[in-house]
């Protein structure tokens, strides 16, 4: 139990009285005190806000840096995944074609392209050792790509259909009109030797006729984008957009005997 003596009780009583009397005084003092303190408080709150801002900025800056790094890493991962996904889908298409096609084919990767601008040639990573010979027909899963013109043991050179030195007999799938396709070293092919009254029109599908040696009948070549008349006026020609993107071809199928 607490031991209260006279002195202590008196002290507490006096203290209570002082507090009570001051509390009556505080209310009228409140307003002028606040008016006086308003400016320093405002300044202090501003400083506090600024300090908070600086701390916040630094914390966010560091967090931002970290997030940026994470984004860069994730972007890299997404790019890698996309690349794998695209390769996977291309290979799936090739495998599907390999299963569906009646020909014996082998899959090969394009490793280089011609060093000059006068030919449209690619080098593939398979050669005689894998059964490829000069003259073998090369496909992409979208259609005809070209022909092997040189076969080494482990590599081969493939002349693409957009090379002017490669000519393939083709037919219009709708009208069965025959013509000879050759390249322009660009993004299009030309179908020549069409008679003046040839039944060919834009959007017609062009396929191989099977008349050129080694080329099986019915391989998709492309679509007609325009039809014109030769300078001599004796025959017509058709410009064809190849179904295969010959500039970005990465994997091919080679028909082997």
The residues that touch another protein, with contacts defined as CB under 8 A, are: 112-119, 121, 123, 149-150, 157, 159, 164-165, 184-187, 247
Residue 114 or 235 having the CB closest to another protein: 114
Three-state SS at 183: strand
Helices (H) and strands (E) in the chain, counts: 1, 12
Nearer to another protein, 85 or 247 (CB): 247
Q: Residue 11 half-sphere exposure, CB side, CA atoms within 13 Å?
A: 5
Q: Which is nearer to another protein, 173 or 182 (CB)?
A: 182
Least CB distance to another protein at residue 112 (A): 4
Q: How far is the CB of 162 from another protein (least distance, A)?
A: 9
Strand-pairing partners, residue 195, are 235
**252 touches 108 (CB < 8 A):** yes
DSSP, collapsed to helix, strand or coil, labels residue 150 as strand
Other CB atoms within a 10 A radius of the CB of residue 241 amount to: 14
Minimal distance, residue 150 CB to another protein, in Å: 7
Least CB distance to another protein at residue 74 (A): 25
Whether the CB-CB separation of 248 and 187 falls below 8 Å is answered with no
Beta carbon nearer to another protein, 97 or 161: 161
> Nearer Cβ to another protein, position 91 or 185?
185
First-to-last C-alpha distance (Å) of the chain: 113
**Smallest distance, Å, CB 123 to another protein?**
7
């Amino acid at each position: 139990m607490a031991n209260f003596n006279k002195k202590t009780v008196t002290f507490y009583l006096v203290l209570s009285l002082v507090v009570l009397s001051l509390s009556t005084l505080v209310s009228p003092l409140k307003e002028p005190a606040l008016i006086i303190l308003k400016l320093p408080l405002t300044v202090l709150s501003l400083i506090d806000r600024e300090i908070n801002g600086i701390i916040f900025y630094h914390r966010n800056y560091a967090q931002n840096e970290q997030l940026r790094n994470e984004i860069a890493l994730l972007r890299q991962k997404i790019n890698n995944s996309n690349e794998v996904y695209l390769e996977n889908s291309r290979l799936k298409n090739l495998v599907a074609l390999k299963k569906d096609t009646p020909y014996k084919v082998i899959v090969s990767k394009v490793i280089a392209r011609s060093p000059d601008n006068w030919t449209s040639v690619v080098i593939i990573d398979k050669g005689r050792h894998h059964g490829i010979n000069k003259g073998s027909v090369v496909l992409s899963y979208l259609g005809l790509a070209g022909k092997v013109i040189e076969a080494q043991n482990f590599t081969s050179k493939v002349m693409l259909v957009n090379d002017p030195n490669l000519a393939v007999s083709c037919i219009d799938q709708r009208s069965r009109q025959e013509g000879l396709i050759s390249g322009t070293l660009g993004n299009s092919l030309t179908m020549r030797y069409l008679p003046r009254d040839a039944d060919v029109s834009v959007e017609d599908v062009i396929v191989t006729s099977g008349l050129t040696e080694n080329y099986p009948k019915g391989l998709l070549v492309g679509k007609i984008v325009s039809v014109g008349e030769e300078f001599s006026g004796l025959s017509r020609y058709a410009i064809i957009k190849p179904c295969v993107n010959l500039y970005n071809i990465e994997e091919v199928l080679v028909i082997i005997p």
